[in-house]
Amino acid sequence: MQRGGCTYIVTNKTHSVLYTGVTSDIIGRIWDHKNKTYPQSFTAKYNCNKLVYYIFYSHIEEAIAAEKALKGGNRQMKVDLINQLNPEWKDLYEDLTKE
């Protein structure tokens, strides 16, 4: 696992809900979302378990700042970002687990 952190966006099956998060363990964190490790969480409640965007940073502080910037933006900004890097909105978790 790389040092630092990762900012990510997960969504539900219909892409109606977007959740932005930050983690130092992207594979483990997305596994948690997919398996509803925390059943009372926002992502479990709204079935957000599809990883559609992520970016690594060499320092966790950078990832936290990026997460805050994403959360401060509007939905369209997030959709545009996802469309730019993942236009098919495919689940990127499978790519991560192959590495």
Question: What pLDDT does 99 receive?
Answer: 57
Q: Domain containing 16 — which CATH number?
A: 3.40.1440
26: containing domain: 5-98
Within 10 Å of residue 81's Cβ, how many Cβ atoms? 16
Token pair of 77 as six digits = 């900004």
Instruction: Report how many domains make up the chain.
Output: 1
Phi-psi group of 22: left, alpha or beta (phi > 0 → left; psi -120 to 50 → alpha; rest → beta): beta
Q: What's the whole-model pTM score?
A: 0.93
* Structure confidence by residue, pLDDT tens digits, 62-77: 999 999 999 999 999 9
* Structure confidence by residue, pLDDT tens digits, 1-32: 447 999 999 999 999 999 999 999 999 999 99
* Structure confidence by residue, pLDDT tens digits, 29-87: 999 999 999 999 999 999 999 999 999 999 999 999 999 999 999 999 999 999 999 99
